């Protein structure tokens, strides 16, 4: 907390408006002294730029610093803790659990530290950051269950029977994709296929037809070019009429 005031070369007494009704006295001309009702005083000294301030020390400790923690131990114990963390860095920054296992199991020849030094190092200096990087596991995220909302009855009544337009297109003139879009609801799909054989095309087409059926739509017609003529009988078994271009 820093309180400030303006420099005043003459003696002045100011009565505060707070409940404490403190008085401010600058009789010596070099500093302000606040005399509080409880008998304590606050001294305001001038800074280099002429602004008076009072450095109020607080008795509340919000954090534990390394200095405050290491005061609980002897100089030798603190030195061994620093040595333990240094060795942990030199051997590849294993986790504290593994580091203790190495030391207790005598896996480090002529090791000058013990288990207590490792535990003390983590208490004084904190966890080894290098041993945490890349080793902290991610907590499992919540599983979001996707719920399908019911389609409006008006939409199903008007567009229950739909027509698919399909074709095969290529990426870089090499990779075939079967493209499908519906005439009424304008739902489009694209799926890469291994080849253009009859069985491959029919499998891909059947997946899309089943997807429409699952939501209450019925594919009654398919518009395609002559390449899909081989699927006519299979589509008729599904109750679908194939209409090829002339």
Are residue 84 and residue 11 in the same domain, yes or no?
no
Domain for residue 147, yes or no?
no
- Identify which of 88, 7, 80 has the alpha carbon closest to the alpha carbon of residue 44: 7
Residue pLDDT, tens place only, 205-242: 999 999 888 888 899 999 999 999 999 999 999 899 99
CA distance 210 to 87: 64
Average pLDDT, the chain: 79
Note whether residue 21 is domain-resident: yes
Neighbours of 106 (CB within 10 A): 9
The Cα 100–Cα 95 span in angstroms is 9
pLDDT of res. 65: 61
CB-CB contact of 88 with 69 (8 Å):
no
Assess if residue 140 is contained within a domain: no
pTM to 2 decimals?
Answer: 0.40
Relative to beta strand 188-192, strand 41-46 is unpaired
Q: Kindly report the CATH number assigned to the domain that includes residue 160.
A: 3.30.420.10
Which residue in the block uniquely carries the two structure tokens 């030391």? Answer: 103
80/32 same-domain check? no
Taking the C-alpha atoms of residue 201 and residue 222, their distance in angstroms, rounded to an integer, is: 13
Number of structural domains (the chain) is: 3
- In degrees and rounded to multiples of 5, residue 9 shows phi and psi of -70, -15
Burial of 2 (0-12, 13-18, 19+ CB in 10 A): exposed
The percent of residues above 70 in pLDDT, for the chain, comes to 78
Same domain, 161 and 237: yes
Read off the pLDDT of residues 76-114 as tens digits, 9 standing for 90 and up. Answer: 888 898 999 899 888 888 888 888 999 998 888 889 999
- The three-state secondary structure class of 234 is helix
What's the full length of the chain, in residues? Answer: 246
At 163 the pLDDT is: 93
Domain extent for 105: 66-132
Whether 151 maps to a domain, the answer reads: no
Same domain, yes or no: 164 and 236: yes
d(C-alpha 163, C-alpha 169), whole Å: 19
Tell me, yes or no, whether 40 and 91 share the same domain: no
| Same domain (yes/no): 167, 235 | yes
Residue 199 resides in a domain: yes
């Amino acid at each position: 907390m820093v309180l400030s005031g303006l420099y005043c070369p003459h003696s002045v007494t100011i009565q505060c408006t707070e409940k404490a009704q403190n008085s401010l006295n600058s009789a010596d001309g070099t500093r302000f002294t606040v005399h509080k009702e409880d008998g304590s005083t606050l001294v305001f000294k001038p800074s280099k730029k002429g602004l008076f301030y009072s450095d109020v020390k607080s008795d509340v400790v919000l954090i534990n610093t390394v200095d405050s923690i290491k005061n609980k131990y002897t100089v030798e114990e603190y030195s061994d803790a620093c040595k333990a963390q240094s060795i942990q860095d030199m051997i590849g920054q294993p986790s504290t659990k593994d580091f203790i296992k190495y030391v207790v199991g005598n896996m480090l020849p002529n090791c000058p530290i013990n288990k207590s030094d490792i535990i003390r190092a983590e208490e004084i200096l904190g966890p080894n950051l290098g041993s945490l990087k890349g080793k902290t596991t991610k907590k499992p995220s919540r599983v979001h269950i996707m719920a399908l909302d019911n389609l409006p009855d008006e939409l199903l009544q008007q567009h229950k029977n739909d027509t698919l337009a399909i074709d095969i297109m290529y990426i870089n003139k090499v990779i075939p994709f079967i493209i499908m879009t519906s005439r009424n609801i304008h739902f489009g799909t694209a799926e890469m296929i291994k080849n253009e054989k009859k069985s491959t095309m029919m499998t891909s087409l059947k997946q899309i037809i089943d997807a429409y059926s699952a939501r209450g739509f019925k594919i009654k017609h398919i518009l395609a070019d002559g390449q899909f003529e081989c699927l006519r009988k299979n589509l008729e078994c599904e109750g679908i009429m194939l209409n090829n271009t002339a």
